[in-house]
Amino acid sequence: MRRKTVLRAALAATAAIPVALAGGPALARTLTGSGTAPQLTPPCDDGDHPTPEQIEGPYFKPNSPQRTSLLEPGMPGTPLTVSGYVFGRACLPVAGVLLDFWQADANGAYDNTGFRLRGHQFTDSRGSFALTTIVPGLYPGRTRHLHVKLQAPGRPVLTTQLYFPGEPRNNTDTIFDARLLMTVRDAGGGREAAFDFVLDVPQDPGPGPGPGPSPSPGGTWAVGTAYRAGDRVTYAGRAYVCLQAHTAQPGWEPPAVPALWRAA
C-alpha cells in the first residue's frame, strides 16, 4: 500500500468518513481527529524530502537494550505510546529499520549511567514500530522532545528528535522543527502519539515481480555488487530476489537480511 495513495484518500474523504476505512496502514497524521485536513509533514511523494535531521545532543549512549517498552516498575510519569511507519523514498514501508530511542525522565533528567528510558527496536514486515514509554519531562533550554536514531539495513543513520504539539517552549526552542511534530491525543489517562518517518532509502516503486526494464546482475551473490530491487541471485544454492537497492557488504548475505532479500 503506497502511503500517498492513503494520503490522497484521506484528503478526499469528508470529515464524516473514518480515514482508517480507506484501507492500508492508518497513517499517523490521520489520527488527529481534529476534523481538519492533516498536514503532509514530512511529505512522501515519490522520492523526496526525507525526515529532517536533528542534533544528537549530549546524552546518547550506544548499546541500548532491545525493547519496545521503556516502562519500569514505579517509574513516574504520564504513559505515552508512539507508533507509526517508516517509509523509503518511494513511500513504500521499510522492514527491519533500527529505531533507537532515548529520552529524559518525568523530571527532565537523562540516565547517563544505566539505560533507563533507552531502548531500540526494529520495524516489522509492514514497516511499523511502536514504543511504550512516558512523556519526557522538560529540562532547561529545550522544549519537550524524544530523541531517536533510525537506520535502514545498509543505509546511513538518521539522528533526529520528535516534538509534542501545543508546548509553549516550541516557540522559543531554536532546535524545534515543526516538521517533526507528532500527532498526540489523550487516551485512557495517558497519551497516544504517532509519527511516520521517511528515510532516504532507494526503492523501486515499479510494477513488482517480473523482469524489470533493466538487465539484472544475476549470478551468485557477491560482496561489492550493486544490486537493485528485483535483481535475482543465488546464495548457498538458494535463489533470492533483491527488495531494496544496495551494495552488498560482508554480513548482508541474503539469508541474514530479510529487508534486502527474500527467498525466490
- Which residue ranges make up the site for Fe ion (CB under 5 A)? 57
Minimum Å distance from CB 145 to Fe ion?
6
* Of 38 and 57, CB closest to Fe ion: 57
CB of 110 to Fe ion, least distance (A): 7
Q: Which of 226, 102, 95 is nearest to 151 (CA)?
A: 95
CB of 147 to Fe ion, least distance (A): 6
Q: 135 or 260: whose CB is closer to Fe ion?
A: 135
Nearest distance from residue 137's CB to Fe ion, in Å? 10
Of all residues in this chain, which one has the CB nearest to Fe ion in the complex? 57
Between CA 174 and CA 238 the distance in angstroms is 53
Closer to Fe ion at the Cβ: 163 or 261?
A: 163
Supply 120's cell numbers: 531500540
Q: Given the complex with Fe ion, which of 112 and 249 has the nearer CB atom?
A: 112
Cα–chain center distance at 238: 31
Q: To the nearest whole angstrom, how small is the minimum distance from the Cβ of residue 117 to Fe ion? A: 11
Cell 533470492: give the residue.
240
For β-strands 232-235 and 118-122, DSSP reports them as: unpaired
> Would you say 29 or 118 has its CB closer to Fe ion?
118
Residue whose C-alpha is closest to residue 184's, from 170, 194, 196: 194
Looking up cell 519531562 gives 137
Torsion of CA 177, 190, 193, 125, to 10 degrees: 140
